[in-house]
Chains A and B, each alone.
Chain A
Amino acid sequence: MSRPPLAAACAAVLRRDLVLAWRRRGDIAMPVLYALIVATLFPFALGPEEALLQRIAGGVVLVTVLLAMLLALDAMFRGDIEDGSLEQLVLAPQPLALMLGMKILAHWITTALPLIVIAPLLAGMLHLPGAAMSVLLLALLLATPLLSLLGAILVALTAGTRRSGMLLALMLLPLCVPVVIFAAGAVSAAQQGLPWLAPVAWLGAALAMALVLAPLACAAALRIALDA
């Protein structure tokens, strides 16, 4: 018996999830559409005053992206649980944490990356100054993988339950408070011409830690949730 090489297994999982997402391209568009709708509603609610919109632009884009990601989070393992693919993944002679890391990566590529791509458009609609735009993108690049990783743990915990939409939001809120604070803090600091490196560095540090720990926690959570 020859155990398959780790790289091949990682590639198989990543490839599978990307191909699946591509075959259901419509689903990828949903969070993007949702973010666009939410961001459009703000000027209607608050008035088209440029100064006001400018002030809230960074925060609105961040929260919008967060909500759109939350919308797609539930689907991370649901399909795999329903058709038994997850059992096959758990029983494979591969490190489960790494395999789940690949799934999280695929999920980030298919849900968060499109959101980051349209983030400049959303920010532009809300008149975010150009100087803060690059900081917003940097903050999003660090914050969205962090949210995917943290969210994956929670989704894994709810894997054994039927309804999880609202519960997931309730569970994610305490975890995403620091992420939102630092990401939005960086953008608003950049807008005011203050140094913004510190909050971005905190985000980066948190991401580095989550990259190592979250897949392990996710694997442990999944084992608990599947043990029924």
Chain B
Amino acid sequence: MTAPPARPALLQARALAFRRQDEPVFGPLDFSVGAGEIALVEGDNGSGKTTLLRILAGLLHVDEGELSWRGEPWQGDAHLGDILFLGHHLGLKGDLSPRENLAVAAGLYGRRDGLAPADALRQIGLAGYEDEPVRRLSAGQKKRAALVRLLLLPATLWLLDEPYANLDRSGIEMVNGLLAQHAARGGAALVTSHGAVSFLDGAPRRIRMHA
């Protein structure tokens, strides 16, 4: 795929603001994310990083400002399936194994061609744990069991809330590898981080949050 400059950004926000009980959570925010772009959402605790991601995922109602998706106004369910959201809660069932959890996700979201679930689980570093109930895994392994969705599910925009939490050095490198691969494929991602340390490779685009 070629990317001519005239192509509209995947996701564009204009004067996006959010209030909770009339208290502003984050101020008017302008940004856009294009294909092949990885953006880092920075901010202190309580600056609204998670809220922003939940709005973009479509879980929260937009109060003020405009959002557009592929140049069209954001509405309804049109973007569902194009977006993969990974929040604080990983969306894993403790009584199911990573393999079963992944099968449910693939049943709902579909699968990217050319990769078998078993290979995805191996790539993410869960070889030997595929059939262990998730509740018996360590925090880092649970994170990997959720991140494996990034490998298998087809989505253009990834919204990752603290994807590096609980991961060891090799896990962090793996996430960066996944992001690079995704960007090369023409995908985009928004990644939050506390702001103290950025694990992302290179010089990503930054979206600075302040209340």
> Which A residues have a C-beta under 8 Å from some C-beta of B?
1-4, 8-9, 11-13, 15-16, 19-20, 23-24, 79, 82-85, 87-94, 99, 226-228
Contacts and interface: CB of A to CB of B under 8 A. Distances in A.
Interface of B: 57-61, 77, 80-83, 85, 87-96, 100, 103-111, 113, 154-156
Contacts of B90: 83-84
A91 B93 contact: no
**Most chain-A CB neighbours within 10 Å: which of B61, B89, B100?**
B89
B95 A90 contact: no
A2 B110 contact: yes
A83 to B, nearest CB: 6
B96 A20 contact: yes
Nearest to A89: B108
Given A91-B80, A93-B109, A226 B94 contact: no
- Grouping DSSP codes into helix (H, G, I), strand (E, B) and loop, the B interface class, with mixed when no group exceeds half, is loop
Nearest to B110: A4
B59 A227 contact: yes
Q: A-B pairs with the 3 shortest C-beta distances?
A: A12-B107, A84-B89, A93-B81
A83 B92 contact: yes
Given A1-B82, A82-B89, A83-B90, A91 B107 contact: no
Given A1-B110, A9-B107, A91 B59 contact: yes
B85 A4 contact: no
B81 A3 contact: yes
Contacts of B108: 4, 9, 12-13, 88-89, 92-94, 99
Contact of A1 (B59, B93, B154): B154
A9 B108 CA distance: 5
16 contacts: A2-B154, A9-B107, A12-B104, A12-B106, A13-B108, A16-B96, A20-B96, A24-B95, A83-B90, A87-B85, A91-B57, A91-B58, A91-B80, A91-B83, A92-B108, A93-B109
Contacts of B106: 4, 12
A120 to B, nearest CB: 32
Contact of A4 (B58, B100, B109, B155): B109
Contacts of A90: 59
B93 to A, nearest CB: 6
A85 B91 contact: yes
B186 to A, nearest CB: 12
B92 A85 contact: yes
A103 B154 CA distance: 24
